[in-house]
Amino acid sequence: MTVSPAIECIDLSKSYGPLLALRNLTLTVASGSSFGLLGENGAGKSTLVRMLMGFIAPTSGQVRVLGEEQVARAHAHVGYVHERPIFEHRFSGRAMLTYLAQLSGLWGRANKERVNTLLAQVHLTEAADRATGTYSKGMLQRLAIAQALLNDPALLILDEPTSGLDPRSQWEIRQLLLGLRREGRTLFLCSHYLAEVETLCDTVGILRQGELILSGTVTDLLRSQGIVEITLAQELEAKAVLARLRCDEEIIEAQGNTVRLHEEAQERVLAALVAAHIPICSLHPVSHTLEEIYVQTTQGAIADEHATSISTHS
């Protein structure tokens, strides 16, 4: 049985008069996966989220949420967490969830059980009967996640869920999201915290000025540099050894008994080391952080834009 993607965007564009907020964006988020959307302020992240929620319509292209092109039809199976959740400060957390559950069609015993379950899940049971006006920002964000889970959604869309929180509160939110990920829900996460996305997400996309400039699995992106690191045993000087074996032209970087080289040179260098009976301590692909990938990608995009601007005006 084929499972439809949770989110599909095909040549999606959105303009506000002369401003093009999204440009020909094509993106697929698989059901049951966790996707992280990265980009600076004004990159188009919020515009995309609003279209996924059906708050605004695209100028051109197609968007489907849980298979629905009229995305409002998917709302019963989508949970949404806004960057700055707003609750009536006079009401308790339990009263807010009870009321919102009623709006979702839950009444009586079903309502009470669902509210109690979610309060426990987001660790707000002890504060449930306090006015939300006394809650910290982290507690309000956990209450917002509980609200988004009232309808037991298949897809959870989170817009900067840990923005402005202290480190402890950020950790608590991440633990909640990791638990939801393990439940098999699809997560669509917008975040400025790259380490957070690296921890929580299977796949990522980078937006810049409305264009998707890079996307892929976190594992592939972190190892996309095609560089391997070889460490020789017995504290041998790697650079001198490879020079003696006439492999020094393959060296990207050498320090002590460790050398880095391009992946395509790995087989030839290994064969030379084995033939010369040079002991090897380890060999592994070089991984980069998502932060490094983000900086390299966006800097490359900025350089391309600058070159295009110079060419246009020359």
Confidence of residue 301 (pLDDT cuts 50, 70, 90): low
pLDDT confidence tier of residue 2, bands split at 50, 70 and 90: low
Give me the pLDDT at residue 55, please: 93
Q: Which residues contact 31 (CB under 8 A, 6 or more apart)?
A: 3, 4, 5, 6, 154, 186
Residue-level pLDDT at 227? 79
305 pLDDT exceeds 70? no
**Contact between 163 and 41 (Cβ < 8 Å):** no
Residue 96's pLDDT band, with cuts at 50, 70 and 90, is: very high
In tens, the pLDDT along 151-189 reads 999 999 999 999 889 989 999 999 999 999 999 999 999
Domains annotated for the chain, with CATH where assigned, are: 7-213 (3.40.50.300), 226-285 (3.30.70)
Contacts 24+ apart (CB under 8 A), 113-118: 114/150, 118/146, 118/149, 118/150
Distance CA 78, CA 149 (A): 9
pLDDT, tens digit, for every residue of 15-59?
999 999 999 999 999 999 999 999 888 889 999 999 999 999 999
Band of pLDDT at residue 309, cut at 50, 70 and 90: very low
pLDDT at 92: 97
Provide the H-helix boundaries in the chain: 45-52, 93-103, 108-121, 137-148, 167-182, 194-200, 218-222, 238-244, 266-275, 290-313
Residue 310, pLDDT above cutoff 50: no
Q: Check residue 287 and give its pLDDT.
A: 65
Of 32, 46, 296, 300, nearest in space to 190 by CA = 46
The mean pLDDT of the chain is 88
What's the average model confidence in pLDDT over 299-313? 50
